Chains A and B, each alone.
Chain A
Amino acid sequence: MPRHTAPRSIPTTSSSPTSRNRPRNHRSPFRLAAATAATAALALLLAACTTGPATNGSNGSNGSTATPVAGGTLVYATGDAEPTCLDPHVGGNYPQALVATQYLEELVSRDKSGTIIPWLATAWKESADGLSWDFTLKPGVTFTDGTPFDAAAVAANVAHLQNPATGSSTGYLALGKVTGVEVVDARTARFTLSAPDTTLLDSLSQPWLAMESPTALARSQADNCKSPVGTGPFIVKQWNKQQSITLVRNDNYNSPPADAAHTGPAYLDSIEWRFLPDSASRYAALQAGTVDVIDNVQPDTIIQAQKNPALTYLNAPRPGASNRIELNSSKAPFDDANVREAFIRSADVDDAVSSLFFGTAQRSYSPLSSAEPLAYSEPSDFTYDQAAAAKLLDAAGWTDRTPDGYREKNGQVLELTFPVSTNQSIPAEQSVFEQIQATAKQAGFKIDLQPMDLSSWYAALAADQYNLVDAPYTKVGPDVLRILYDSAGTVPAPSGYFANLSQLKNPSLDALLETAAATSDETQRASLYQQAQKLILDGFYILPLYDQQNGYLEQSVVHGLRAMPTVSTPTMYDAWVQR
């Protein structure tokens, strides 16, 4: 049936049963006129449509058995912030990764089990000393601007990432140990490292280290931000700021990752990548059939959606760090471990999570995401205990009380600044913060929640104007710990962002992480990471909340949508729509 968003409609499918699930033909005036009158009839239809395609809530990709239909446009509505630059090398945050997954590709990828699998690189080999890696590149791959994909291109990309002018943050940190790339031959690129890095492959599997056309990279950053050029299944056609990005199929695409469901070009003609920051509008749009897939789904809507046969939930928690509140230990009052513990004890997270997430999220007691095999939990550190909190604060000398019950220490109110990025946390999460604010108040903490947009938020962090912060950090593998808690992480990356927001400076921890990263023996590595995590948890530097919630609601007409096992970004390569 005709889609308001489709550049062209597909008449053949206009009579498909699912198309009657929801009224979607917003074009026909008749539809509009008759609409109100036909409400009752509609209700019947909806009731009749309970026999939609069977849905399996967990891993999405419904009806993958059916034969894919080529063509059509898929409308994806993201609640993440609109990137200021479509090139994930620049800065490097999740919103960029989300969209970049559609048009950029990495050297390697991961499968569901977490093992590294080939992508643009067909094979790789670590040297004995672990200081150099040779990557064999897939042949016959060209960027969508015609530039061939070869070792030189790889070198160019690494150079681009490491060039301070690029202002890369995530990618830059991931390549911390890479000193450069030698072009051995057209199809072989050699990474040279300053020290052995067992996490290199994990790092290289991330969208922020995707391969872009050197020719494109040579352009001004402004241009490259508008239309980065990769080898992906789709091409950035147009970017209407604050509205949408139009992606069209790359017809001579030939480089799917090893775990893709099919080969050759993608099924979809195009993707409309809309920015709908308002979660309610987003869900309403999905219900009304205005869009096909949404991310950043509200817990309550997940529950609702599960009752709605027309919708399918694809749950894909992000790897790397758990979602946690960092306590800025670099300045008062959190330079005092007692105060940190007092805060953590006084925060009633469990109730908040259970009430706000309707059981869609599991409480976490670990710095790492449950998606990480090596995650270590220490629940005992996080039991909710106001009495203990009070005792600790008394011990710390915060004995006085302001009229409205906040604690004071020689005239200083026990006040905590908590900048909250409205773009990076769903409202439910902000409510969690509010509840923590409320419970911590009982202990005498005065928490200033400061909702702000992404850039102000970054600015606040860069200016060290925070005591508490919740900063999602997505990286493949436990090495994320090194980025988040290594003393080095307190030094800003070129973009100005520094990942170690708890500003934890502990040489022994640094050493642990260092050796862990260099150790290839699994068991030893595991124990090292475990010690490291224990150290972080016991130091009360962070308050883990839950895994980084990440999931996608899709119309049941969408098939074959899957989340990349790397950083759980959705890929539309295998996706097709049946209308």
Chain B
Amino acid sequence: MSGATGAGGGAMGSAGGPEETAAPLLDVRELTIRFGRSAPVVDGISFEIAPGECLGLVGESGSGKSVTSRALLGLVGAGSHVEAALMAFASPAEPRIRAGEDHHDRPEPAARPGGSASHAAELRVSASDTEDNPHETESGADRGRGSGSGGAGLAGDARPSTSGSAGSSGTSVLDLRGLGARAWRQVRGGQIGYVPQAALVGLDPLRAVGREIDDVLRLHSRLTPAERRAHVRELLATAGVPEPELRAVQRPFELSGGLRQRALIAAAIAGSPSLLIADEPTTALDATVQAGILTLLERLRDSGTAILLISHDLAVVSRLANRVAVLRNGRIVETGPTRQILDAPQHPYTRELVAAVPTSRPRGSLLAGSATPAQSSSPAPTPALMLPDRAATSGRSQPPTRATTRSSTTTRAPGSDREPGSSESAAPVPAATRSSMPGSGDLGGRNAMPGEGTEGGAGTGTGTGTSTTVLEATGLGKWFGARAAVDGVSFTLERGRTLGLVGESGSGKTTVARLVLALTEPDEGEVRLLGEPWSTLHERERRPLRPRIGAIYQDALSSFDPRLTVGQILSDAKSAGRSSRTDVADLLERVGLAASVAAQRPRFLSGGQQQRVAIARALAPRPDILICDEPVSSLDVSVQARILDLLDALQHDLGVAYLFITHDLGVARHMSDDLLVMRDGHVVESGPTEAVFAAPKEEYTRQLLAAAPRLGAYSPVPRSRLQ
């Protein structure tokens, strides 16, 4: 099929006419998307994609990435208004697979006069939706309830208006603004493939995977069922799915996440479209899996399929995209070749994003820039002043090689609140914590002598500092049935230090956490807390000790009692509900949240804020140890950066020891003094973080490191773009 795409490419080349620069496959001008009467979610963005090119659309939640991708499929959803000066798609007149239904949409001018004439053909989407409230968050658009019928209802009468008669020249340019329902159905899957964001739920749980792929062929080809069956197997194979014939008959729940994603890609390319829209194709996948998927997409790109890659993860984008467009609050703030964007980001926001990527940012460096207090809802007393000293004075030994990177990245820019509509504090928390509030004072005080606190903070890098062991696990083992979730895991954790625990899902990280928290009894080995027996105790005896060890989770929200307000949660945590309002205020302040948040319910906070509340709760009983189970995995990169900074600062002030569990090597490297690499319940490798990263001993560790996406793995920009 690569041959086929090649032909398509050729056709397009010829379509381009004489001039050298290939005609863009997709040309979007001033695309604006609004829901209801609210402010536009996407605000006049323009971009174009050349055949065989990969454009990376980077942005955080709510930046309007997904909505944009939907607009290109006519699936924006209910009550939406999509306007554009131009939405031209150079579609091959003849689909590379013969279309099932009569495909020749007779070229007519868009039925609505203004349609193609006026430069803003507004597509009203008839809502089959029961509610069409405006929603700006990505997830809001995500719901896209009835969006299909929205598509069906698109300017119902409008027939596809194509300039140039079909067939006569190699390509005809489709005006995506004026397409009728049937025409859209031809485009979707047939000419524009879509790899949905929700990799794990993007397949109908009740149907065999093969059927889903088969649908595409059924819709866009005249193949006989038998041929299709064969083709489906081919496609699965192409998508790198092992044992395709088995997988084809299996249902999604029988497949791993990676396989599901591959199946989805197989479905997306089944119609051998000339453009592939991949919306967060690797989110929520393990590093190695992610790597695999990216390689696959790479192959597709190289075989001539243009890709619109949408991601919040710069690292992912940098791996694949020839060019990057940085999207923020529905506007493209910067666009250009990947290399240029990464090396010399112009726009502050871009810089910030780049900086926020923890990958290969060693311990102690700061990820998040500061925000102008104006935009942060919570009082952020003079952050700018505090930060540099901290960054500078933190006497942590850094490999000189890193120095450059650091300086380049820690350059502060007048960044601002990254989360539209949220009151996520941009205040770098150290400020808050440093500011000598009574709360913080006594916190620091009771924990250890301030001296020790800083000392612990400072000494962690070298590990030479005199530090006491707060947590000690010896030969932990836990079996579920025959399978060993954890086997022979031993480690020690010292006050004020961070032990990183990395590994892919199923490696037993979480089980270790549960064992350490004494939520499950080990079948083997023992956990000692502050030198005292811990795992061996009875829950009753354990209870008085519990305040010494806290935990924060990936899904902070679900760890809050839905009935309680933030205030209740915190006072609850501090002293079983008997603590005063001021305590709560202090706690909130300490994690950089406004006291006003106390009155709210967690579910109405942003993810970052939720995590902050979780941290505040964990700190309330003033623990010596904090178990952090993937605390930032589901957060946007900039938010993640600030949370990490917060944790860093808190540790520095309070000398809390972290057991930091993550699947993200970058985060692990950034956060931890020592590293523990787990696989299938066993510790594969352990040692000082930098050492492990510098010279991994084990093969598996090497694989992990290799798989980990990092900035700077640029893809060459294709010729056509270069001049």
Q: Assess A/B contact in the complex (Cβ within 8 A).
A: no
Binding site for B on A (CB under 8 A): none
